[in-house]
Structure 1
Amino acid sequence: MTISIDGDAALPWHGQPYSIKRFGTSIDNCASEPVQTPGCIQTHGALLVVQPDDLLILQASENTEQVLGHPASALAGASLATVLGDDGANRVRSFLECNSTDCNPIYLFSHPARDADMLLDVSVHTIDGVAIVEFEETERAGKEAPDYLSRLKASVARLQQAASLQDLGDIAAAEVRALTGLDRVMVYQFHEDGHGEVVAESRRADLSPWLGLHYPAEDIPEPAREVFRQVWIRPLQQVGVPIAEMVPLAHPTTGKALTMTYCALRAPSAIYTEYLQNMGVTAGLTMSIRRGDKLWGLIAGHHYSGPARFPYGLRAACELLAQIVSLQHQSAEERGQLAYRLKLDEIQQQLITLAARQGDLAAMCDSTPNLLDAMDAGGVALFHCDRWWRIGETPSEPQLDALKGWLQTRPELMTPFRPVVASHCLGRDYAGGAGIGDVASGLLAISLSQRHSNLVIWFRPEMRGTIKWAGDPDEKPMVTGPHGARLTPRRSFEIFTASVQGQSSPWKAVEIDSAIRFRITLMELIVSRAEQLAELNADLAQSNEELDAFAYIASHDLKEPLRGIFKYVHQLGETGTLTDPSSRARLDGLKRLTLRMDSLLDSLLHFSRVGRVMLHFDDVSIDEVVAEALEMVDARRTEKASEVLIPRSLPNALCDRVRIREVFVNLLSNAFKYNDKPSAHIEIGYLAPHELARRAHWPQDTGTGPVYFVRDNGIGIRPRHFDQLFKMFKRLHGRDAFGGGTGAGLAIVKKLVERHGGQVWLDSEPDQGSTFYFSLPAGTATSHAPDT
């Protein structure tokens, strides 16, 4: 619709005042039309411009002969008394001398019209050093005027009962329609990007609903909005009728165009007239809704069944109603937001209670209500414990990972008191936003930790996909005017969908504040849980220390009497007093039991020392460690044919050399020991991070470093035994099978690896062999205190 005009030189009225009547057909966009100086008026009244000091007429509308009985040409330079008589002129003079009339039209009195059955309402205001006197046709003479004051009092009472902004809009639309008798009255809200939305409506039953429809910003351009920032009401008694030009068009002395911003008779914009005609509107009344000095929206009334009268008394009542709506607006919005806030707070409190009871933030995703119910959104994602939980429509996990990386760079997320990022146009703010606009054109994210490792992100879809349509959106009725095809409501919707591509509905302040309160409460829960865990860890550390000390003392002290028992049994056997075979067998059994008990106590003593010894970390060659371990198990290697394969050099690790060597010694000993094949085949290797793939029985997180392994072709292990395998003194075979043993080796391996901050696990199949894996995370420490 909008065609740019390159400078004033392109305008046909360049160098002279503008007139809609003469130059309106040259206008092809609203933004270029001088709507405050149209040079013309509506013809249901007449307008005079006079000098305030002597009331000499400077300009007159060209229809004064039809309305006032005096040709415009005859009024130039005449006194206002020519029209109003001496008494009327004196009343105007006295009023101008005693009242503040600048930009403030005020009704003075009613004056007889040429038609004896009609009256003319006379109103006056001053602007730019001149006085403007307007004459408007009003109620017939002798007819009692409606009691607008009583109606207005009832309307105000209903407005004061509004529980929310929506209620206020609904009541305002209904009351204005009841006052004016118009066919349709809408409350029209301007959004931040300038486009408008019908948020309330009262209409004739046979008219199509427009509630919820959106319109592009071009429908009401900035020049028109500027007028509504200055005036409260704009009447248009009949659309499309002839208009009257001012004579002369400019001030006879200064040559300036007449500013008609505050004139009730001001003629409508040429394009606005055409736009209304395209919608079938025959009359209209528009009022401002303001929040302080900002234009929040409009109360727009349309009539479809002929002209409509808006006498001064009715306009005054409607103007006062608009002012009351504006005053009530913020409080009504706060009441509505309070209800919404209480609803969000109630849901969030239920979620926090659930998370506290279960000790896991992820519980908020599987409950009823859940995190998605805690915000008006299409989807939500929680990043916690290094994984995503998703509800509703969200980006994929790879897209979420990329989005998380971007969020962690946002300065808003770094602020200590309001770490929140809110966007309703993510494609504009985030380079990857264009690819996820269908589900995530809007985003509201909060951080739940100082390092931003825990996040909650709510998503809103693109607004274009949620627009409400009146009828078939593919139907595009158009009306051709003097400037070509013009907008109709349906065409406006089409333009709007293009203008909001990639945008969601904006986040309300109450939603952002609610998210921040939710974060604070969750952070308190996390801190509380951390304190509880710290206390539990302290208790556990003390218990572990006492347990290690007990194991050390018990195993050390028990070995003394055990050595005595073994000594006496040995002496008893040497004396030769026990000659019968059964007695000798029992004595030999007692010797074996004391030896086994001694072995168990040695294992227990060693296990307790593993938890107590100081670890010394260094950059260690694992190849050298493996070579030393193979040398230490050389005796087992020679028991049968064997082959040890190391396909590639093993990467170094930051670890305690002696303890990791012990890990390899235990794993290699078991690989040789638990092997029933004619030849033992052992492989020692590693998997780089990029070679890792999640498998059954593997831990969730294998770290960021290499994973070492020892693989054999031995007897294998059934999966049901995997969890039991690393427990102390746990053997899966008979006491003396496969050379016997205490079952402490793998328990010691697990404790040593975990003390390094790693994990140990296995893959195995019966009769096929086993592979034991362990990880050693990267780090920079040089020593590590014993477990406490």
Structure 2
Amino acid sequence: MTFNQANNNYINLGFKVDLSNCDREPIQFSGTLQPHGVMLVLLESNLQIIQVSDNTFSFFNLHPQELLNQDLSKLLEPEQISLLHDCLQQEDLQTINPIEINIKILDKSLFFDGILHRHEGIIILELELVVEKKNNFFNFYHLLKSALSKLQNTSNLQELSQILVREVRKISNFDRVMIYQFDENWNGKVIAEDKTENMTSYLNLHYPASDIPQQARQLYCRNWLRLIPDVNYQPTAIIPTNNPLTNQPLDLTHSVLRSVSPLHIEYMQNMGLQASMSISIIKNQQLWGLIACHHQTPKYVQYEIRHACEFLGRIASLEMIAKEDNEDFDYKFLLSSVHSKLVEYMSVEADFIDGLIAHKPNILDLVNAQGAAICFEDKYYFLGNVPPVAEIQNLWEWINQHFQEDIFATDCLFNYYPQAENFKDIASGLLALSIAKSQKNYVLWFRPEVIQTVNWGGNPHKPVEVSGNGELRLSPRKSFALWQETVRMKSLPWKHCEINSALELRSTILGVILRKADELAKLNFELERSNKELDAFAYIASHDLKEPLRGIHNYSSFLIEDYGEILNNDGKSKLQTLMRLTQRMEDLIESLLHFSRLGRVDLSMQETNLNDVVSQILDLLRARIEETKVEIRIHKILPTISCDRIQIGEVFSNLIANAIKYNDSPEKWIEISYLEDSHPLIFYVRDNGIGIREKHFEGIFRIFKRLHAPSKYGGGTGAGLTIAKKIVERHGGNIWLESSYGQGSTFYFTLEPDS
């Protein structure tokens, strides 16, 4: 990242400082309060006062010690006690706040707004003095009627935000009111502002997440409103410090008087503020933003006014959700139509991936990406601008190791995966969708780098202060002047609707895969049934055909023997041809019968020394080997494997016999071996024979397929390679060849599935 620094007041220590004193600060257990009200901690069972703030004398003319361990009737009249008991019957005390409390002090009645909280068997009662008593309902209605009408008539989020800050400022009379929206990293941006002329504008400025640390954001989610009337207040302590029931500091999470973090006080003073009020904007139970109110002098806001502002914030939260969703309505509709098209394409394509990438619109249009990569069943498919294949493979492995979720989205891949700097122009942003994590099936979408200039309200990097004892402490920055940062290695952010579209695509792909798997299972079942029927038919047909063929052959032989003297030479020749054809037909039927038996007999798997198998086959072929003077080369010892010994012997027999038969070289040789580093092991039979043209590589494995006339190269049925292929495939392996016509062939085969 590149920084254009207008102000740089922090110490450069020469090393990275990883401090989190803001996040560690236990602000809900401060043990002190702001002094504009009084706190009473009561036992719910009998309303006995067990803790009290130490400023009671200034409000009630009673010292804390005069109230501790006393019944609440020491302070309140019986009708007030009765009212309080009625209120405590409610399960949710927030719905009844504030309650009107009337306390007589020195023959004078004082009115207080009472705010009740329940926590672990105790009641916390906070009292704030009412300066001017009004008709609460009608005043509340008057404050909100106009504002609500204006909010409901807005057409977009920006207009809503601007009217909201204007109306909140009108009701509360703060010097500045602004809306502060959080991004996905909890950095904030001022998106709307209304202020007095003399105040500095913060509109469109960004603020780092550290300005509002994590535990403060959690409290904003639980408490819709927070008031600081005077930043220079003197804290009032809670007496005793620990809750007598738990012997722990009192949890002030829901307190409206809770003291302010010293860091936040310093932050406000650095901004030149004397008072502030914050109203939470909540979306889907998450903190979306804040309505931040600033004042240059101390300012107390009556609970009634605060309540009206809080109500406005709650209504605005609902309106903002609707406006934000509506702003993307047209785009969401477009993404939905793209998804529908992809579903249509996937349903008609034999391979569903073609449905994702071969048409328009395609998966790039689904999330507005500039590149995409699909990894499915160890195959890669690319579309648009993508990083180099090696980089994508490394990224795939990294994603598979580090993320368990179905989807991962970032507009700054570099923050997670530093190697992304190598291809930032193509893939600074990544949206990764897992289809089947166990099989490493993913869809990746890429967005390129978009260099941005971000306007910060002051240097966003907190200064590090070194105290007298040498400790390092993060402190709020002292300047909020414009501070620009040039941001690199970031893409345009992924919208929620785009992420949702990707998740919908995942569900669709899984549905397509399951449907195709079901269809394939049905086809496999039908194919298996058909193969069994075909095997049975081939067995029966070949068995039944052999008998009439033998009869024809025998009768022809009898005719030659009994009537040879009567028949002329032409007649004898035709009978001899008939005998030769019936013999060939019987050989073909015998091969078909053997082929059909292979599918009907179970494999007899056993540990087999292939050296013994090959040696036995060579002994059977010894006469032909000697006759043709072929050299047998076995350069290394063959391994011992698990297989059907008899059937694998037949594979070697067919391949070696063919290598002998189809060889017219003057110096013939056959090499039998395997590739040691292959997984699974690859065996081969290589020769220097006549070779095979590439166009016949597939055809030679079809049954009865011969490339030469029946009488050439010693004849044969053409079933040997078909039988070898079936045996290999029944073992889970594959068989294939390499050949140079006129120079020789190599037949390779494996005997187990690919790893």
Partner of 2:670: 682
CA displacement at 1:763 relative to structure 2: 0.6
Aligned length: 646
CA displacement at 1:390 relative to structure 2: 6.4
Output one character per residue of 1:639-674: Cα deviation in whole Å (capped at 9) or x when no partner: 333210111111123333222222222211221121
1:741 maps to 2:716: yes
SS in 2 for 1:705: coil
Contact 1:209 1:470 in 2 (8 A): no
Partner of 1:610: 595
Contact 1:337 1:510 in 2 (8 A): no
Contact 2:275 2:297 in 1 (8 A): yes
One-letter amino acid of the structure 2 residue matched with residue 486 of structure 1:
P
- Alignment partners' CA distance in 2, 1:467 and 1:32: 39
1:636 maps to 2:593: no
Partner of 2:691: 716
SS in 2 for 1:611: helix
CA displacement at 1:625 relative to structure 2: 1.5
Identity %: 22
Output one character per residue of 1:123-155: Cα deviation in whole Å (capped at 9) or x when no partner: 6336867743265999xxxxx999533223315
Partner of 1:11: none
- Aligned match of 1:563 in 532, 553, 559? 553
Contact 1:477 1:491 in 2 (8 A): no
- Alignment partners' CA distance in 2, 1:645 and 1:334: 76
Output one character per residue of 1:64-105: Cα deviation in whole Å (capped at 9) or x when no partner: xxxxxxxx99x99499xxxxxxxxxxxx99996786699945
Output one character per residue of 1:253-279: Cα deviation in whole Å (capped at 9) or x when no partner: 999999999998999655335435666
Contact 2:634 2:671 in 1 (8 A): yes
1:153 maps to 2:148: yes
CA displacement at 1:629 relative to structure 2: 1.5
CA displacement at 1:547 relative to structure 2: 4.6
- Alignment partners' CA distance in 2, 1:93 and 1:473: 52
CA displacement at 1:529 relative to structure 2: 1.7
Partner of 1:14: none
Output one character per residue of 1:206-236: Cα deviation in whole Å (capped at 9) or x when no partner: 967648x6732x3223664465356433356
One-letter amino acid of the structure 1 residue matched with residue 314 of structure 2:
Q
- Alignment partners' CA distance in 2, 1:510 and 1:242: 44
1:666 maps to 2:654: yes
Consecutive unaligned residues of structure 1, counting only runs of 5 or more, are: 4-26, 42-46, 62-71, 80-91, 110-120, 139-143, 162-166, 411-419, 426-432, 692-703, 780-788
- Alignment partners' CA distance in 2, 1:549 and 1:319: 88
Contact 2:281 2:313 in 1 (8 A): yes
Contact 1:38 1:260 in 2 (8 A): no
One-letter amino acid of the structure 2 residue matched with residue 591 of structure 1:
Q
One-letter amino acid of the structure 1 residue matched with residue 292 of structure 2:
G
Contact 1:761 1:774 in 2 (8 A): yes
Contact 1:105 1:263 in 2 (8 A): no
User: Structure 1's 106 and 404: CA in aligned 2 closer, same or farther, altered over 3 A?
Assistant: closer
- Alignment partners' CA distance in 2, 1:471 and 1:479: 18
CA displacement at 1:712 relative to structure 2: 0.5
RMSD value, Cα: 6.2
SS in 2 for 1:575: coil
SS in 1 for 2:637: coil
CA displacement at 1:682 relative to structure 2: 0.8
- Alignment partners' CA distance in 2, 1:255 and 1:474: 40
- Aligned match of 2:311 in 320, 323, 327? 320
SS in 2 for 1:678: coil
| Comparing 264-273 and 149-158, the one that deviates more | 264-273
Partner of 1:272: 264
Contact 2:111 2:129 in 1 (8 A): yes
- Alignment partners' CA distance in 2, 1:492 and 1:601: 95
SS in 2 for 1:777: coil
| Comparing 728-737 and 557-566, the one that deviates more | 557-566
Consecutive unaligned residues of structure 2, counting only runs of 5 or more, are: 1-8, 12-20, 42-46, 48-52, 64-75, 88-92, 103-109, 117-123, 244-248, 411-415, 422-426, 468-472
CA displacement at 1:718 relative to structure 2: 1.8
- Alignment partners' CA distance in 2, 1:261 and 1:360: 57
- Aligned match of 1:730 in 705, 708, 716? 705
Contact 1:214 1:467 in 2 (8 A): no
- Aligned match of 1:470 in 445, 454, 459? 454
Output one character per residue of 1:375-430: Cα deviation in whole Å (capped at 9) or x when no partner: 799987766545455676796446646876899xx8xxxxxxxxx656789xxxxx
- Aligned match of 1:215 in 208, 219, 227? 208
Contact 1:423 1:506 in 2 (8 A): no
One-letter amino acid of the structure 1 residue matched with residue 590 of structure 2:
L
- Alignment partners' CA distance in 2, 1:720 and 1:485: 78
Output one character per residue of 1:328-381: Cα deviation in whole Å (capped at 9) or x when no partner: 788999999999999888766655554443344544553455567777999877
User: Structure 1's 365 and 645: CA in aligned 2 closer, same or farther, altered over 3 A?
Assistant: farther
- Alignment partners' CA distance in 2, 1:473 and 1:373: 37
Partner of 2:641: 653
User: Structure 1's 371 and 538: CA in aligned 2 closer, same or farther, altered over 3 A?
Assistant: farther
Contact 2:728 2:750 in 1 (8 A): yes
SS in 1 for 2:689: coil
Partner of 1:536: 526
Partner of 1:188: 181
Partner of 1:301: 292
Contact 1:645 1:684 in 2 (8 A): yes
SS in 2 for 1:733: coil
SS in 2 for 1:196: coil
- Alignment partners' CA distance in 1, 2:319 and 2:78: 36
Partner of 2:120: none
Partner of 1:548: 538
Contact 2:345 2:355 in 1 (8 A): yes
1:125 maps to 2:119: no
Matches within 5 A, 1:769-788: 769-777=744-752
Contact 1:197 1:214 in 2 (8 A): yes
Partner of 1:8: none
SS in 1 for 2:738: strand
- Alignment partners' CA distance in 2, 1:663 and 1:479: 78
CA displacement at 1:602 relative to structure 2: 0.8
One-letter amino acid of the structure 1 residue matched with residue 720 of structure 2:
G
Partner of 2:67: none
Contact 2:30 2:259 in 1 (8 A): no
SS in 1 for 2:701: coil
Contact 1:250 1:258 in 2 (8 A): no
- Alignment partners' CA distance in 2, 1:50 and 1:525: 66
- Alignment partners' CA distance in 2, 1:405 and 1:485: 38
Matches within 5 A, 1:283-362: 285-290=277-282, 296-301=287-292, 315-325=306-316, 351=342, 354-362=345-353
Partner of 1:622: 610
SS in 2 for 1:750: helix
- Alignment partners' CA distance in 2, 1:561 and 1:352: 63
One-letter amino acid of the structure 2 residue matched with residue 470 of structure 1:
V
Partner of 2:3: none
CA displacement at 1:714 relative to structure 2: 0.9
CA displacement at 1:738 relative to structure 2: 2.5
One-letter amino acid of the structure 2 residue matched with residue 215 of structure 1:
P
User: Structure 1's 555 and 302: CA in aligned 2 closer, same or farther, altered over 3 A?
Assistant: farther
CA displacement at 1:325 relative to structure 2: 4.3
